[in-house]
């Protein structure tokens, strides 16, 4: 038995959609909360399966998790114990690696299985481990688990070979309790890093420079609980902007921070989408005329986000001429192209680029969400295709999009779930 999403194409979207809290911030904020010696209240938590998986890990550590309202959770680490994280939940979720930094920082030791998540090609965690070693920890790999320990963590200068978001956050979490000052150079600048540093500072940490390429952390003895509201999800926001560009007459995407979407909004304007940007929302009025093909290169923030090239590929099948997407972050992130070709798209993949020739009419068929953002690309395709699109492996979609089918139904999409054998 398997649950699938079905979409009947050709129904135009209209109305307003509200964006949930950031998935990529949430999956780091929840592990960061265990650094406190008191309850942490987090507001704006998206109702996605990744959050449920993290709650299971918290319970394994003896941390109490209480859901106060639909989007508010209280994490209370008062009765917490540093236990090995070697269960099933770790391998389901890549972001479980944030417990490495948090537990190493708080207890000076962590034992943990290799984390899982979407397969997007090699995503090594050697930068995280190098960072921990620079702070004085030893790293061993035994029987599928990492054992990372230090008698004492001491601040140091750390240069990241690649400005990795995960490594920046993990080192920052370990360093809050290290003696003296830690400097992370070539740090990632993503908005989610600012959000996590902001919460840690509310808890009593001394972190400066987040959002720039040099972050300094002065170690402290103790962090306390706090109240924190998560920033809106810029990738969910970008996905709905692309959905609106492809399939809406008029749609408003609200609860967003427009500057987080600058690279996408400028591209959409360039290819011929009519949109207006306000303080905390974007209004999409459909296409100005015929869409023009374009060239895009993914880059770390504030460049064009790798997470949004997949949904955008679908939109570009409707543009005149050839579009080229070059992937500099995850060169293998083109599995969606094979699925879109099943629907009639003209796409050639020559890693690290794909070449999209349009415009073409897409036809509904059976497709597979090979990863989270591939799922988003197929939803965009289903909305504009002739006939019915049936999407399999939708657990990927549920990992990162809160109530996607519910939100789209309210906008006028014909989208539903079915259980098939």
Q: Which two tokens stand for residue 368?
A: 């597979």
Tell me whether residue 282 is exposed, middle or buried, using C-beta atoms within 10 angstroms of its C-beta: 0 to 12, 13 to 18, 19 or more: buried
Is 118 labeled as catalytic in the residue annotation?
A: yes
Give the residue from 169, 181, 187, 241 showing the smallest Cα distance to 206. 181
Beta bridge pairs of residue 281: 254
Out of 43, 118, 226, 354, which one is annotated catalytic?
Answer: 118
Q: CA 131 to CA 171: how far, in whole Å?
A: 6
The answer to whether the annotation marks 169 as part of a ligand binding site is: no
Length of the chain counted residue by residue:
421
296 is an annotated ligand-binding site residue: no
Supply φ then ψ for residue 64, to 5 degrees: -85, 130
356 assigned ligand-binding residue: no
Cβ–Cβ < 8 Å for 396, 385: no
In degrees to the nearest 10, what's the CA dihedral of 191, 194, 195, 199?
Answer: 180
For residues 286 and 313, give the distance between their C-alpha atoms in angstroms, rounded to a whole number: 17
Longest Cα–Cα distance in the chain: 65
Q: Is 126 annotated as a binding residue?
A: yes
DSSP secondary-structure letter at 397? H
Report whether 35 belongs to an annotated binding site: no
123 is in an annotated binding site: yes
417 marked as binding residue: no
CA angle 414, 416, 418 (to 5 degrees): 145
The radius of gyration computed from the CA coordinates of the chain, to the nearest angstrom, equals 22
The answer to whether the annotation marks 68 as part of a ligand binding site is no
Q: Which residues are annotated as a binding site for UDP-N-acetyl-alpha-D-glucosamine?
A: 94, 123-127, 307, 329
Residue positions in the annotated binding site for phosphoenolpyruvate? 23-24
The set of catalytic residues is: 118
Residues annotated in a binding site: 23-24, 94, 123-127, 307, 329
């Amino acid at each position: 038995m398997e649950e699938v999403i079905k979409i009947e194409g050709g129904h135009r979207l209209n109305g307003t959609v509200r964006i949930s809290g950031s998935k990529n911030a949430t999956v780091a904020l929840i592990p960061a909360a265990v650094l406190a010696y008191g309850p942490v209240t987090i507001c704006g938590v998206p109702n996605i399966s990744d959050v449920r998986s993290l709650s299971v890990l918290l319970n394994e550590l003896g941390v109490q998790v209480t859901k106060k309202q639909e989007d508010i959770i209280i994490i209370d680490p008062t009765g917490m114990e540093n236990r090995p994280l070697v269960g099933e939940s770790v391998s389901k979720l890549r972001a479980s690696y944030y417990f490495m930094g948090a537990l190493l920082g708080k207890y000076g030791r962590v034992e943990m299985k290799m984390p899982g998540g979407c397969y997007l090609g090699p995503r090594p965690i050697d930068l995280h481990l190098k960072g921990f070693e620079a702070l004085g920890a030893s790293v061993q790999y035994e029987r599928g688990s990492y054992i990372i320990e230090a008698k004492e963590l001491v601040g140091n200068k750390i240069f990241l070979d690649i400005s990795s978001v995960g490594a920046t956050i993990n080192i920052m979490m370990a360093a809050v309790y290290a003696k003296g000052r830690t400097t992370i150079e070539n740090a990632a600048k993503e908005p989610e890093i600012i959000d996590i540093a902001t919460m840690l500072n509310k808890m009593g940490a001394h972190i400066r420079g987040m959002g720039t390429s040099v972050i300094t952390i002065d170690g402290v003895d103790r962090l306390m609980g706090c109240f924190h509201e998560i920033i809106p999800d810029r990738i969910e926001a970008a996905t709905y902007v692309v959905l609106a560009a492809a399939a809406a007459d008029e749609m408003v995407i609200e609860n967003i921070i427009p500057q987080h979407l600058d690279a996408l909004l400028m591209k959409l304007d360039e290819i011929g989408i009519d949109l207006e940007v306000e303080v905390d929302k974007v209004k999409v009025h459909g296409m100005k005329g015929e869409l023009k093909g374009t060239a895009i290169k993914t880059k770390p923030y504030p460049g064009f986000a790798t997470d949004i090239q997949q949904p955008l590929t679908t939109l570009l099948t409707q543009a005149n001429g050839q579009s080229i997407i070059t992937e500099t972050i995850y060169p293998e992130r083109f599995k969606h192209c094979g699925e879109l070709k099943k629907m009639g798209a003209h796409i050639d993949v020559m890693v690290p680029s794909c070449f999209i020739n349009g415009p073409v009419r897409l036809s509904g068929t059976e497709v597979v969400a090979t990863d989270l953002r591939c799922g988003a690309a197929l939803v965009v395709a289903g909305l504009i295709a002739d006939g019915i699109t049936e999407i399999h492996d939708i657990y990927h979609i549920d990992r990162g999009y809160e109530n996607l089918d519910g939100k789209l139904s309210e906008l006028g999409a014909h989208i539903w779930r079915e259980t098939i054998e």
